[in-house]
Structure 1
Amino acid sequence: MRGWGAMVRDLAVRTPDSRERDVDMWRALAICLVVLGHWFVVAVTYRDGELSGYNALDVLTWIDPVTWLFQVMPIFFLVGGFAGGASMASHRASGGDGIGWVLRRTDRLLRPTTALFLVLPLVSVAAVAAGMNAELVGHAAWLASIPLWFLLAYLVLVVFTPWLHRLHRRAGLAVPAVMVVIVAVADLLRRGLHVPVVGLSTYVFAWLAIYQLGFCWRDGLLRLSPGRALAVAAGGLAALIGLTVLGPYPVGMVGYNTTPPSLALMALAVTQIGLVLALQPAANRWLRRIGPWSAVVATNAVILTVFLWHMAAAAIAAAVLFPTGLMPQPPLRSTAWLLWRVPWLVSCAVVLAVLVALFARIELRRSTARSSERGLWRDGATVLGSAAVLAGLLVVAVSGPGYHGPTGLPWAGVLSYLCGAAVLRVARTRPVRSAAGR
């Protein structure tokens, strides 16, 4: 741990003053809030030797307004756009091309994800072979794979960033504005005319709008005084209240408003973006202090590992605590259930800490990307590999909690993902031929 602490402090000290440190803070905060929110709503039951669970949001309607605080994925996509735009601009300034950027940018995303895709099926096969209930194993594997939903949406935007960033440079704020209009039209068709295919398009357009706003933020198109930023936040909040409390949308920001993303979620995003912009000067001043900034650096160093494994940690904690009787099962609507959430959250955090200690080194490893040779082979391999990875993630994400064979996850999705990741790794690490060898 001394080596880890020294590395974090060294990175913190060497951070240039020009860095927008609040961007890193919002990324870390968003993921941590998502993790805590997921853990909180997991309701586990153990009766007659059978372990099962469900989402407490389906029962506790008083939590719906609280989801406005914990549904912070818009901030994550905003920060992703900011970071992607900064990285793309730097890459192009150094002579790099779009395909080369995709290969480098997906390296850190796919390494920890590949570990999850290898470990979950191996553990599932071993559990079924040991005699565990196959349905229970399948449900646990599904629970552990829930984070792949968000990763799929984010990875789609990363893969298309070279073209999205070019579009941003031409049209600026017009791009997210058009995307929000598309979301509104798709919502109208989904709610009014019950057209499901059009409604599902908002999975792309809603997150794309926020990601493009990240480009705008990075390039100074969202530069506002704290007062004006607060006015934007207030306007977003008024729209959110109008659409949910007074309007036709549910109040909860998990479920209907996110599957697929709705216009109400866009109003929440505007509220959050206004707050982020208003707090930017104060946050950057605070993060000049070595203590807070070191905490942000440490969290971001393993943030993807934390995100990918946090539901696996919940599944392990449930399997240990409830069958052994260590965790009581008070009625869901009782005060006792709410109080017992505290030791439940602590238990999940302890298990996650162990998992992070085991797997974080994969995320911390230096990038394997090289200055690969430009050409048809590299470009084709990148397109093919990216398509296979995204297809695999999609198959797993939509599979549901049923039993999908001894691998736990759908074997077709696992195979597609692993083959695509392997192709991308070859394209990423293929040595450049020297001019003399050509």
Structure 2
Amino acid sequence: MTIAQAPRTATPTPPPRASRDTGIDLVRALCVLGVVLLHSIMVGVTVTDAGPLFENASDSTWWIAPLSWVLQVMPLFFVIGGFSGLLAYRRLQQRGGTATDFVAGRIHRLLRPAIFTVVVVGFALAVLTVIGVPADLIATAGFRYGQPLWFLGVFVLCQALLPVLAAAHERAPFVTIAALATASVLVDALRATSGIDGLGFLNLAFVWMTLQQLGFFLADGRIDALSRRTRMLAVGGAVALLATTFLTGVYSPDLIANINPPTAALLLVGVAHTGALSLHRDRIERLSRRPLPAAFTGFVTRRAMTIYLWHMPILLAMAGITAVFALLTGVVLPALDSADWWAGRPLWLATALALTAVTALAFTRFETQAAPEPTRSTRGLALGTLLGLIGIVLLLVLGTSVATAMIAAALLAASLRLARRAPTETMPGRAAFALA
């Protein structure tokens, strides 16, 4: 991995806006909310004669496909990540910062709250083991906790490569995004023709980097500069093509199924979302300045990664407490997807949101404290980024256990250390920087 200073060339000037685009911040906050709601409604717990049973409540249900069309917001999240990341990187360059500064800051912002969460989850799994919780239930909890961490790993990778991808965007914007999009389609084609599903995981890079690259076009003002008719045609065309792939069986109409591994269908979702965002951007920005949306946006923006990292442990704890309550009291839990189960969903969702918010409020400091002085070593930072990614992949592939949590925490700690200036390094005249 090479992290280099991107050359500066002329780029389209975005429309003048405030130092922070509050409309984009609001949409990003809504994306975070959508992820928490989607995962919350998918958690199912019942008690059988064999004991507690934790399942994905959406398996083999009719409602997950239409719901996924509303709550599958990850494509838009990566577009916004590209938008915000590119603008933050350019501001940093204007203050004399480098690509190394940018990546080191991103590593600290993303992995610092992650290492704390991994340590706490590892400790919790150890406690459950000591008190005699069955090993299969602990393994299930560790697996469920690790599943959403794919986002952290991919986002770290995309942000670490952002300076390089930004340089490519400035030299050849259309060639770069076309190459990434083509690669993602080829991966899908090879996966389909070979029958090797594992090939699809290559799109953990190509799909999400393509969507981040689309965010660069939004940051440049190129998308907003298109005529309203052109943007409407782009949205309609993306939706029509997406529907065609569903009807012809190329891709599943369940957009959740298209995320593991990711498919090029998500590129069409990203185009549709980005076009719709551009069409309504001024209206969204006006809405974002109202007191309630502004308060919501401010709360989530400061804690976005903390909320993402903690919502799954909260949901697992809620499921465990529900099962224990049923076992102790003899209360019969409703069957998944039954009328009684749906009747209880509003309370379940409200509780999940409230507990996640309280937890995020308590642990905000791990995400928002100022980053230390960044390293000047490009090789050290590249190694640190790689170690951080290995730690996350370890939890994804092997599952989260006491042992894997300890190893992952050590790797994340090493990543953070390598991203920080060593005592022997000198930093004359290095500009301070902040992350958007």
TM-score past 0.5 threshold: yes
Calculate the aligned-residue CA RMSD, in Å: 2.3
Counterparts of 1:330 and 1:430 in 2: how far apart (Å)? 62
Alignment partner of 2:372 out of 369, 372, 375: 369
* Deviation at residue 18 of structure 1 after TM alignment: 4.9
Counterparts of 1:72 and 1:307 in 2: how far apart (Å)? 13
Q: 1:370 touches 1:430 (CA, 8 Å); kept in 2? A: no
1:319-398 alignment, distance < 5 Å: 319-325=320-326, 328-365=332-369, 367-370=370-373, 374=376, 378-398=377-397
Structure 2 equivalent of residue 418 of structure 1: 413
Alignment partner of 2:232 out of 220, 230, 233: 230
1:184 aligns with 2:178: no
- What is the SS of the residue equivalent to 1:17? coil
Measured at CA, do residues 290 and 336 of structure 1 come closer, stay the same or move farther in structure 2, by a change above 3 Å? Answer: closer
Q: 1:314 touches 1:348 (CA, 8 Å); kept in 2? A: yes
* Deviation at residue 194 of structure 1 after TM alignment: 2.2
Counterparts of 1:19 and 1:333 in 2: how far apart (Å)? 42
Measured at CA, do residues 263 and 139 of structure 1 come closer, stay the same or move farther in structure 2, by a change above 3 Å? Answer: same
- What is the SS of the residue equivalent to 2:65? helix
Q: 2:374 touches 2:420 (CA, 8 Å); kept in 1? A: no
* Deviation at residue 433 of structure 1 after TM alignment: 5.8
Structure 2 equivalent of residue 241 of structure 1: 243
- What is the SS of the residue equivalent to 2:315? helix
Deviations 1:363-388 (A, max 9, x none): 232x132265x3xxx22321221111
Q: 1:305 touches 1:360 (CA, 8 Å); kept in 2? A: yes
Counterparts of 1:43 and 1:371 in 2: how far apart (Å)? 43
Q: 1:77 touches 1:210 (CA, 8 Å); kept in 2? A: yes
* Deviation at residue 135 of structure 1 after TM alignment: 2.6
Q: 1:173 touches 1:213 (CA, 8 Å); kept in 2? A: no
1:152 aligns with 2:146: no
Return the letter of the residue paired with 1:432: T
Q: 2:146 touches 2:399 (CA, 8 Å); kept in 1? A: no
* Deviation at residue 432 of structure 1 after TM alignment: 3.2
Q: Which 10-residue stretch deviates more, 190-199 or 37-46?
A: 190-199
Return the letter of the residue paired with 1:128: T
- What is the SS of the residue equivalent to 2:256? coil
Counterparts of 1:423 and 1:178 in 2: how far apart (Å)? 32
Gaps of 5+ in 1: 1-15
Measured at CA, do residues 18 and 420 of structure 1 come closer, stay the same or move farther in structure 2, by a change above 3 Å? Answer: closer
Deviations 1:94-126 (A, max 9, x none): 222111211122221111111112111122222
Return the letter of the residue paired with 2:426: V
Counterparts of 2:95 and 2:52 in 1: how far apart (Å)? 55
Structure 2 equivalent of residue 35 of structure 1: 36
Measured at CA, do residues 417 and 208 of structure 1 come closer, stay the same or move farther in structure 2, by a change above 3 Å? Answer: same
Structure 1 equivalent of residue 128 of structure 2: 127
Q: 2:22 touches 2:288 (CA, 8 Å); kept in 1? A: yes
* Deviation at residue 75 of structure 1 after TM alignment: 0.8
Return the letter of the residue paired with 2:72: Q
Q: 2:154 touches 2:205 (CA, 8 Å); kept in 1? A: yes
Alignment partner of 1:250 out of 245, 249, 252: 252
Identity %: 28
Return the letter of the residue paired with 1:381: G
Q: Which 10-residue stretch deviates more, 231-240 or 189-198?
A: 189-198
Moved beyond 6 Å, runs of 4+: none
Q: Which 10-residue stretch deviates more, 130-139 or 150-159?
A: 130-139
Q: 1:385 touches 1:423 (CA, 8 Å); kept in 2? A: yes
Q: 1:46 touches 1:323 (CA, 8 Å); kept in 2? A: no
Return the letter of the residue paired with 1:394: V
- What is the SS of the residue equivalent to 1:324? helix
- What is the SS of the residue equivalent to 1:201? helix
Measured at CA, do residues 246 and 121 of structure 1 come closer, stay the same or move farther in structure 2, by a change above 3 Å? Answer: same
1:205-224 alignment, distance < 5 Å: 205-223=206-224, 224=226
Measured at CA, do residues 22 and 393 of structure 1 come closer, stay the same or move farther in structure 2, by a change above 3 Å? Answer: same
* Deviation at residue 237 of structure 1 after TM alignment: 0.7
Q: 2:188 touches 2:263 (CA, 8 Å); kept in 1? A: yes
Q: Which 10-residue stretch deviates more, 274-283 or 308-317?
A: 274-283
- Larger RCO (alpha carbons 8 Å, 6+ apart): 2
Deviations 1:173-192 (A, max 9, x none): 33222222222222111112
Q: 2:109 touches 2:371 (CA, 8 Å); kept in 1? A: no
Q: How many residues align?
A: 409
Structure 2 equivalent of residue 432 of structure 1: 426
